[in-house]
Amino acid sequence: MKNAAYKKNLRKLMILAILMLAAAALYMLWNVNFTNPKFLKYSLSLRFPKMCTMLIAAFAIGAASIVFQSIINNTIVTPCLLGMNSLYTLLHTVVYFFLGSASFLATNANAAFVVDLVLMIVVATIIYGYFFKKTNYNILYVLLIGTVLTSFFGSIQSTLVRVMDPNEYESLLVTLVASFDQVNAEIIILCVILLGVLAFVLRKDLALLDVITLGKEQAINLGVDYDRCIRRLLIGVTACIAIATAMVGPISFLGLIIANLGRQIMKTYRHSHLIIGSSLFGMIALVGGQLLVEHVFNYSVPVSTFITLSGGIYFLFLLLRQKKG
Amino acid sequence: MNVQNLTKKYDGKAVVDTVSFEIPKGKVTSLIGPNGAGKSTVMGMISRLIAKDAGLINFEDKDISKWKSKELAKRLAILTQHNNIQMKLTVKELVAFGRFPYSGSRLNQEDYDIIDQAIAYMELEEFRDRFIDELSGGQRQRAYIAMAIAQDTEYLLLDEPTNNLDIYHATNMMKTVRRLCDELGKTVVLVLHEINYAAFYSDYICAFLDGKIAKFGTVDEVITKETLSEVYKVDFEIMEIAGKPLTIYY
């Protein structure tokens, strides 16, 4: 249906893409010393991996949030509810608590990333795969279980932190705040490959998302194998969140903002547009936020502060608006 | 479509108990009965939305569970009462989803023609670009019917289509059901609460009581004082208007 609304959305996506590229270029070139090629090369080599990380994280979170919201059929939920953030926090705390901040897992970023990722995906697949079957594919139970697990992981973590050596805690805290500073090139390549594989494996299920938002009955009516499709997509969502979280830390609150901005601007049911739109919003937000952090606040505030602050305000706005409408 | 010994149990209690019947092709069949008699559960099972515990549902001489879901979607359209969409979707886009079993998300010219015909058939042209959540209940119901028409199936299963509609829209809904059967040759099965709509617009009626079929037959066979009093446990008077039996209950 190549109608006016479709073309309008394509135009909006183009504008977003241009804005994103502008933000990226600004980030790469702000305050760079052009006169000396050595300085130029040095600052670019510092900034380029950071920017790639932000773009990848924004894509993973944007896609995961849109898919998750469409599965649940509710636009004010985020995949945070699945408890992946608290699982990540707990895993790191356990490593620091039992192995110490000097251990191999704590100092080697690549090893930590792989361990985080594998553990999160395994735990999520087991927990959600199992409970999903057990509760007859009732998505509300899955949400409830996610909420319970979040506080369960959180309690264990805070108990460990309470009895922890303060110096260890100090170094632990750094890894628990989302940041783009410690990402290696190998991790970036690995993430891109993983996301690519994920998108390829789930391409058929993603194409069914438009129909799934019509509701379970209509989806079955139109010939969708609903339960199987939902299960695969949910595992895909957790994998996406696991990748983003393992890469930059707990940041998926961002998903709520960008998914809703995407939906608000695009006003469409097409998930291809929604996912791209939300990802672009995420990229703009992260790169813009990082620009502020680096050049205005001189690294005194982490980017997650902005995200949580603006996210909270936006969330309240969404709630109030829903009540009115 | 024929059903043999269909059974569904919740917590050991059979809500549908060894029900067998055959749905006449090219006719309108209404399932009636008091609340909890099992008519909606039977509807859910024959439309594959609810898993059956025992029994056999043969659709076109093949067990319904052996059908590929996508193939079934080309022959059997379902419309339930629960249709809430969070998405911003226009009428035209909703109706276009009816073509999903045939063309996926890539529609061809034939699909667009069928969508336009379905919209015209339900007289929705002036609403085609309106969002679904901005329509009234009656208009929305019509949009869903248009989607089912676009799905171009031989069978159409409607679960309480007149629910939440006023007399005007409910009557129009029933007239549409009749037209779908008479003009497009569809086999329509519907769950109804209003006995008079069932009596006036159906060819066959299946009355349920306590998970079993109390009576299945033509309208004249089922709409009798005795049968209805037994099923609904209230007094009935039957009158004849325009050659159809109509009921009065109090």
Q: What is the DSSP string of A164-226?
A: S-HHHHHHHHHHHS--SSS--HHHHHHHHHHHHHHHHHTHHHHHHHHHHTT-HHHHHHTT--H
Select from B176, B214, B227, B174 the least CA-distant residue to B198: B174
Judge whether B107 is closer than 8 Å to chain A, CB to CB.
yes
CB atoms under 10 Å from CB of A123, counted, come to 19
Q: How far apart are CA A199 and CA A202, in angstroms?
A: 5
Residue A273 has φ and ψ, to the nearest 5°, of -70, -45
The parent domain of residue A256 ranges over 251-325
Q: Provide the 8-state DSSP code for B34.
A: S
Band the pLDDT of A1: cuts 50, 70, 90. very low
Lowest mean pLDDT among A19-28, A53-62, B133-142, B147-156: B133-142
From A222, which residue of chain B is nearest by alpha-carbon distance?
B73
Does A208 share its domain with A263?
Answer: no
Residue A138 has φ and ψ, to the nearest 5°, of -90, 115
Are residues B82 and A207, on separate chains, in Cβ contact within 8 Å? no
What percent of chain A has pLDDT above 70?
97
Residues 6+ apart with CB under 8 A from A77: A68, A69, A143, A256
Tokens in use for B160?
């309480």
Does A265 share its domain with A172?
Answer: no
Are residues A222 and B100, on separate chains, in Cβ contact within 8 Å? yes
Phi-psi bin for B94: left (phi > 0), alpha (psi -120 to 50), beta? Answer: alpha
Select from B2, B36, B11, B73 the least CA-distant residue to B216: B2
Q: How far apart are CA B195 and CA B215, in angstroms?
A: 14
Q: Would residue A16 count as lying in a domain?
A: no
Q: How far apart are CA B71 and CA B62, in angstroms?
A: 12
Judge whether A73 is closer than 8 Å to chain B, CB to CB.
yes
Average pLDDT, chain A: 85
Mean predicted confidence (pLDDT) in A234-253: 84
Judge whether B47 is closer than 8 Å to chain A, CB to CB.
yes
pLDDT in tens, chain B (250 residues): 888 899 998 888 888 988 999 999 999 999 999 988 889 899 999 988 888 888 889 988 888 888 888 889 999 999 887 777 767 788 998 999 999 999 887 888 999 999 999 999 988 999 888 888 888 888 888 899 999 999 999 999 999 888 878 899 899 999 999 999 999 999 999 999 889 999 999 999 999 999 899 999 999 999 999 899 999 999 888 998 888 899 988 8
- Chain A interface test: which of B64, B76, B105, B189 (most A C-beta within 10 Å): B105
Q: Would residue A215 count as lying in a domain?
A: yes
Band the pLDDT of A182: cuts 50, 70, 90. low
Q: Would residue A103 count as lying in a domain?
A: yes
- Residues of chain A found within 8 Å of residue B151, distances taken between Cβ atoms: 221-222
Does A255 share its domain with A244?
Answer: no
Judge whether B78 is closer than 8 Å to chain A, CB to CB.
yes
Distance of residue A207 Cα from the nearest chain B Cα, in angstroms: 8
Nearest-by-Cβ selection for A1 from B86, B93, B100? B93
Helix axes A226-248, A84-98, angle to 10 degrees: 40
Does A133 share its domain with A220?
Answer: yes
Q: How far apart are CA B136 and CA B220, in angstroms?
A: 35
pLDDT at A252: 65
From A74, which residue of chain B is nearest by alpha-carbon distance?
B86
From A223, which residue of chain B is nearest by alpha-carbon distance?
B70
From A211, which residue of chain B is nearest by alpha-carbon distance?
B97
Q: How far apart are CA A222 and CA B76, in angstroms?
A: 9
Residues 6+ apart with CB under 8 A from A178: A248, A249, A250, A251, A302, A303, A304, A307
Nearest-by-Cβ selection for A214 from B72, B74, B97? B97
Which residues in B160-230 belong to E strands, given as ranges?
187-191, 204-209, 212-218
Please write the tens of the pLDDT for every residue from A69-87: 888 888 878 887 788 888 8
pLDDT at A45: 86
Judge whether A267 is closer than 8 Å to chain B, CB to CB.
yes
Nearest-by-Cβ selection for B100 from A5, A74, A211? A211
Mean predicted confidence (pLDDT) in A240-256: 83
Lowest mean pLDDT among A40-44, A195-199, B167-171, B184-188: A40-44
Q: Would residue A190 count as lying in a domain?
A: no
Q: Would residue A74 count as lying in a domain?
A: no
Q: How far apart are CA B154 and CA A20, in angstroms?
A: 50
A-B CB pairs within 8 A amount to: 71
Whether A30 shows a pLDDT value over 90: the answer reads no
Whether A60 shows a pLDDT value over 90: the answer reads yes
Tokens in use for A273?
């547009």
Q: How many domains does chain A have?
A: 2
Q: How far apart are CA B94 and CA A33, in angstroms?
A: 55
Residue B216: helix, strand or coil by DSSP?
strand
Residues 6+ apart with CB under 8 A from B163: B81, B193
Does A244 share its domain with A101?
Answer: yes
Judge whether B81 is closer than 8 Å to chain A, CB to CB.
no
Please write the tens of the pLDDT for every residue from A140-174: 787 888 889 899 999 999 999 999 988 888 888 88
Does A173 share its domain with A308?
Answer: no
Does A95 share its domain with A155?
Answer: yes
Does A129 share its domain with A212?
Answer: yes
Residue with tokens 């600052």: A43
**Of A248, A272, A302, which residue sits at a domain end?**
A248
CB atoms under 10 Å from CB of B1, counted, come to 22
Q: How far apart are CA A234 and CA A162, in angstroms?
A: 34
Does A97 share its domain with A239?
Answer: yes
**What CATH number has the domain bearing residue A91?**
1.10.3470.10
Amino acid at position A313, single letter: I
What percent of chain A has pLDDT above 90?
22
